[in-house]
Amino acid sequence: MIKVPLIKLNDGNSIPQVGLGLWQITDEKKFSKAFNAAIEAGYRHFDTAQAYHNEAYLGRAIKQSKISRQEIFITTKIAVQNFGDKKSRKSFEQSLKNLDISYVDLLLLHFPVPVLRKKTWLTVEELKTQGLTKSIGVSNFTPRHLLSMEEYAKELPSINQVEMHVFLQQSKLREYCSKKGIVVEAYSPLAHAKAMDNQVIKQLSDKYNKSYAQIMLRWALQQEVVIIPKSVNPDRIKENIDIFNFKLSNVEIDLLKKQDKNLRTCWNPELVP
Ligand SMILES: NC(=O)c1ccc[n+]([C@@H]2O[C@H](COP(=O)([O-])OP(=O)(O)OC[C@H]3O[C@@H](n4cnc5c(N)ncnc54)[C@H](OP(=O)(O)O)[C@@H]3O)[C@@H](O)[C@H]2O)c1
């Protein structure tokens, strides 16, 4: 079983550097199979969201695994339609019921919803004070959205979960977050499997005898971000965490830097006011 390093957050808590992404896993049998394969491989961090409609699957899978709550890191996210003070609180109470737990490890605002994101952030801060979530953060926030938070936030987010991979390296955003002590969490670290034909990655895959996906994930690890690759395939789940026994050289990292092509496979929050 692979032991995943922890990354320290600005609030004193820590997050396992690799987690299993759970978006688009809507069949409970597939979910349980993926969860069990992940636990066996060493994953202890799971990334769900209200919008994924699988919080209850995660809750049941954790109970069945008999692994103690303290050993597992759970993230959920307030869905766009649940923004607002009362609505976000109520929806989060429902998330805890779905998950059948008394707290989550990380609660994120899923998207920088205009106007309502301020009230929602203040609510999420209260939920943290009440011990219902250990850490709080945001997702899909650009430096502009983060900067405007400084006018109203009592505390800055611990995490900003954004699309990031070799083909969307997010250098400016990462530089900004690093200055503010915000850890970047890379979603779609495999570019949603939409760009699996890059020659440089193929060459590195041959050199290290690692898969194309493992080279992409290793690149992200060496950027010191958290990664949450998704798979429902037990072999790929194992493969995606087996990335701690080789290291890309500085020259190779420089070569991969040149592969950035601003490829977005999800949404683009840059235009959100
Ligand atoms: N906050 C947000 O707005 C946001 C947005 C998007 C994603 N996320 C989070 O980030 C997680 C990961 O992102 P993602 O699901 O978009 O994409 P991803 O992890 O980049 O890629 C997932 C795709 O790659 C395939 N795959 C997985 N491992 C592979 C491997 N070793 N070799 C070849 N193909 C492989 C998967 O298929 P199989 O399942 O068949 O293996 C799936 O089609 C999500 O599940 C979610 O938790 C958050």
Task: Tokens 């502009």: give the residue.
Answer: 144
Q: Residue 239 domain-assigned? A: no
Cβ of 21 below 6 Å from ligand 1: yes
Active site residue 52: yes
Mean pLDDT confidence for 83-91: 98
Q: Residue 259 domain-assigned? A: no
CATH number of the domain within which 43 lies = 3.20.20.100
Measure 155 CA to ligand 1 centroid, in angstroms: 30
pLDDT digits (tens, 9 = 90+) for 192-227: 999 999 999 999 999 999 999 999 999 999 999 999
pLDDT at 154 (0 to 100): 97
Question: CB atoms < 10 A from the CB of 252, how many?
Answer: 19
Out of 52, 57, 176, 187, pick the active-site residue: 52
Specify whether the CB–CB gap between 170 and 195 falls below 8 A.
no
- Please choose from 160, 231, 263 the residue to mutate so as to test ligand 1's pocket, defined by most ligand atoms within 8 A of CB: 231
Q: Structure tokens of 7?
A: 């990354």
Long-range interactions of 204-213: CB distance < 8 A, separation 24+: 204/248, 204/252, 204/256, 208/246, 210/243, 210/246, 211/239, 213/239, 213/240
Whole-angstrom distance, CA of residue 225 vs CA of residue 4: 13
The rounded radius of gyration (Å) of the Cα atoms in the chain is 18
What range defines the domain where residue 134 resides?
6-195+224-233
Q: Structure tokens of 108?
A: 């994120």
- What's this model's pTM, rounded to 2 decimal places? 0.98
Q: Residue 27 domain-assigned? A: yes
Measure 188 CA to ligand 1 centroid, in angstroms: 5
Mean pLDDT confidence for 153-168: 98
Q: Residue 203 domain-assigned? A: no
Whole-angstrom distance, CA of residue 203 vs CA of residue 59: 41
Cβ of 160 below 6 Å from ligand 1: no
pLDDT at 21 (0 to 100): 98
pLDDT digits (tens, 9 = 90+) for 120-135: 999 999 999 999 999 9
Q: Residue 251 domain-assigned? A: no
Mean pLDDT confidence for 90-103: 98
Q: Residue 272 domain-assigned? A: no
Measure 129 CA to ligand 1 centroid, in angstroms: 32
Whole-angstrom distance, CA of residue 177 vs CA of residue 224: 12
Mean pLDDT confidence for 38-57: 98
Cβ of 236 below 6 Å from ligand 1: yes
Confidence of residue 60 (pLDDT cuts 50, 70, 90): very high
Q: Residue 256 domain-assigned? A: no
pLDDT at 12 (0 to 100): 98
Q: How many domains is the chain built from? A: 1
Q: Residue 43 domain-assigned? A: yes
pLDDT at 45 (0 to 100): 98
Measure 250 CA to ligand 1 centroid, in angstroms: 27
Atom of ligand 1 nearest to the CA of 229: 19
